[in-house]
Structure 1
Amino acid sequence: MTKDSVCVVTVTYGDRWEFLEKVIKSVVSYHNVLEIIVIDNASKFKIEEKCKKISEKINVIRFERNMGSAIGFNKGIEIACKGNAEFIWLLDDDNMPEEEGVNYLVNNYRRIENEAGVNGGLALLSLREDRKEYVMSAEKGNAFPFFPKENSFLGVHFKDITYKVFKKITSYLKRNTVEKSSEKNLSTVKVPVAPYGGLFFQKDLIKEIGLPNKDFYLYADDHEFSYRITRFKKGIFLVPDSKIIDLEKSWFLAKNQGFLLSLIHSQSSFRIYYSVRNRIYFERKDLVTNKFIYNINKFLFLFILNSLSLIFKKKQRRELIISAIQDAESNNMGVNGLYTLE
């Protein structure tokens, strides 16, 4: 194993070569990147041929149908663990790292290890500026207020209602004076969960926490996977100096609606089904410490869902969400034949 060396793992699909090409050309130039593993989830382009023209560092594994993010990253990480690199850096196919991004991660990993007096067992996370909960965590030096509490139901907790109303009002009043994260004083901070995009860890960590759960198919698989680091190991540290630019916004961020309204308005049934089912499964497995409070929050969520479905005349969407909740509570995971990727 080569000290301080990195293997980049990414998963692509569809017609996203315009994004993937920029990401690959960015990371391939880093001297400490030994290998780039691209999982090709049945994309429309000849990814392997295109990647060979860029660098011999790139290893493309193609699936003949889209297997989803859980299987894609599971396979990519498994292959990376067999290589010579010390670290694995996960990136979405549209995650463009800023210059020196990976060097900040390597250097900060050693620093945090030394300060904590530990040897491994932790992970770092690059900052993505469209993920406001991470930006605010780094600004305040505390992630607790910006992530769902224990016993939340799909992120809804009765203790948050007043705070969220206040936040909406203050955000409206400050809408013309929003600062960029580069203008703020951001600090390294511990966060409870992380997306795949930007997650950085020693490959030996996988021996202890395991690979992503294939039964998630897609959505929330990254949170379930990363939370194992929080639950069983030293935790995840957000490193603001290592920045990533998202070339395309996530579906629930694109219209700045928030998660609940996105559930109502999204045009994609499979996104809604797997987002709800998988998140509920994850919450029930890892985040419920008080069933009474959890059920209160479930009742509150269902009240909000029923109200929104009446206001926006979305009866079928309500039924889809209820179906996803029931499947999660019955542990019906894996691929649902009614909702599959093309």
Structure 2
Amino acid sequence: MTGSRPTVAGATVTYGARHASCLAVVARMVEEGVDTVLIVDNGSVPAAAAALDAAAAQSGGRITVKRMPRNEGSAPAFAAAIAGACDADTEYVWLLDDDNLAQPGALDRLLAADRALRDEGVALTAAAPLRAPEADARTIAHVVATETARESPREAISFAGVEAGLYARRLLERLGVRRPRARSRGTDLAYAPYGGLLARAEVLRALGLPRADFVLYGDDLEYTSRIVARGGRIGHVRDAVVVDPRGERWMPPGFEVRAMFLSTSPALLYYFLRNRLHRELGTGRRWSIPRAGNAALFFALCAGCAIVTRRWSKLPIIRRAVGDAVAGRLGRQVEI
């Protein structure tokens, strides 16, 4: 960065007994040069809440804790984090999850990338880092290769992530009949997660707040997609790395419909599926022949996965999530 450095407020959300990782994230933010940090305590246990308060008391006003009455879900908590950070009289807001460790130089690279977008005459801008489970070069290279290797479902016609045409193309690729279609290797994103996102406070104010009625999952994608929908750009800064440890997954990797039946949390499954489908139905035509066909395929895949996994208890959860998404019933429908 050249010239005077802009002011940056960091913001993160934590809950449960995750104070140790949260405070490590805060310490790394301070090392990177943020001016203030807002921690939204989204239902921490008493010992964790006390540790957060102690860190704030010892920070000389640099760290502030905002306490939610209970675990309200990530959407309301990040809405509070964004609102609070934007009120801090700062030029930029840097959002991180409570286990995201920014690697040295990440903030400066994000700031430089956002400035470059602004210099191109773009009004609404944001910069998102590369998120990798580890910081070593091989892992980072693998993440970059994976992100650019294959196309994703088209939300304008997909149903719960299912797109028949994409499955057909992948089958032809495996058979060697068709060459893989790589994603665009450009540096712009259509949307981005909160973890590591940097944006000017005035951009966030223009976007408003995230939709609290999403409760969990998808609120970050819906929120950041507003930037692109309004003619802005989200730069993907691959040399700004944030370590995002995967930890123990509630839904295993692999074929997603099958993974839903192998998932370990009914509440997380409900919000994940409901919000994803709600977002898809708001993209393109709500119902079209391709969308209806993909919906039929999704339900057929669910039936097959229920038989294979024998996890029949997942069917009512999936049915409720789909029904609520189609009916537009958002909000806290299932306890978390």
Q: TM-score range by the shorter chain?
A: 0.7 to 0.9
- 1:150 partner amino acid: A
- 1:29 partner amino acid: E
Q: Quick check: 2:281–2:287 contact (8 Å CA) kept in 1?
A: no
Runs of 5+ in structure 2 lacking a partner? 135-139, 177-183
Counterpart in the other structure of 1:239: 237
Q: Does 1:126 align with 2:129?
A: yes
| CA deviation after TM superposition for structure 1 residue 144, in Å | 8.3
| CA deviation after TM superposition for structure 1 residue 256, in Å | 2.6
| CA deviation after TM superposition for structure 1 residue 267, in Å | 1.4
Q: Does 1:340 align with 2:335?
A: yes
- Residue pairs, 1:1-342, within 5 angstroms: 4-31=6-33, 33-44=34-45, 45=48, 46=50, 47-54=52-59, 56-114=61-119, 116-118=120-122, 120-130=123-133, 139=145, 145-146=151-152, 148-165=154-171, 189-249=187-247, 251=249, 255-288=252-285, 291-336=288-333, 339-341=334-336
Counterpart in the other structure of 2:137: none
- 2:166 partner amino acid: D
In structure 2, relative to structure 1, the CA distance for the partners of 1:163 and 1:48 (3 Å cut) is farther
Per-residue CA deviation, residues 215-253 of structure 1 (Å, 9 max, x unaligned), is 111111111111111211312111001101013447367
Q: Quick check: 1:139–1:187 contact (8 Å CA) kept in 2?
A: no
| CA deviation after TM superposition for structure 1 residue 16, in Å | 0.9
State the alpha-carbon separation in 2 of the partners of residues 54 and 164 from structure 1.
Answer: 53
Q: With the length of structure 1 as denominator, give the TM-score of the two structures.
A: 0.84
State the alpha-carbon separation in 1 of the partners of residues 300 and 159 from structure 2.
Answer: 12
State the alpha-carbon separation in 1 of the partners of residues 222 and 30 from structure 2.
Answer: 29
- 1:209 partner amino acid: L
Counterpart in the other structure of 1:176: none
Q: Quick check: 1:189–1:238 contact (8 Å CA) kept in 2?
A: yes
In structure 2, relative to structure 1, the CA distance for the partners of 1:241 and 1:187 (3 Å cut) is farther
Q: Quick check: 1:11–1:39 contact (8 Å CA) kept in 2?
A: yes
State the alpha-carbon separation in 1 of the partners of residues 256 and 212 from structure 2.
Answer: 24
State the alpha-carbon separation in 1 of the partners of residues 247 and 231 from structure 2.
Answer: 31
Count of residue pairs the alignment pairs up: 317
State the alpha-carbon separation in 2 of the partners of residues 56 and 258 from structure 1.
Answer: 47
Q: Quick check: 2:100–2:245 contact (8 Å CA) kept in 1?
A: yes
Per-residue CA deviation, residues 130-189 of structure 1 (Å, 9 max, x unaligned), is 59xx9889559969824544211111111110344467799xxxxxxxxxxxxxxx9761
Q: CA RMSD in A?
A: 2.8
Runs of 5+ in structure 1 lacking a partner? 171-185
- 2:320 partner amino acid: S
| CA deviation after TM superposition for structure 1 residue 313, in Å | 1.2
| CA deviation after TM superposition for structure 1 residue 76, in Å | 0.9
Q: Quick check: 1:3–1:86 contact (8 Å CA) kept in 2?
A: no
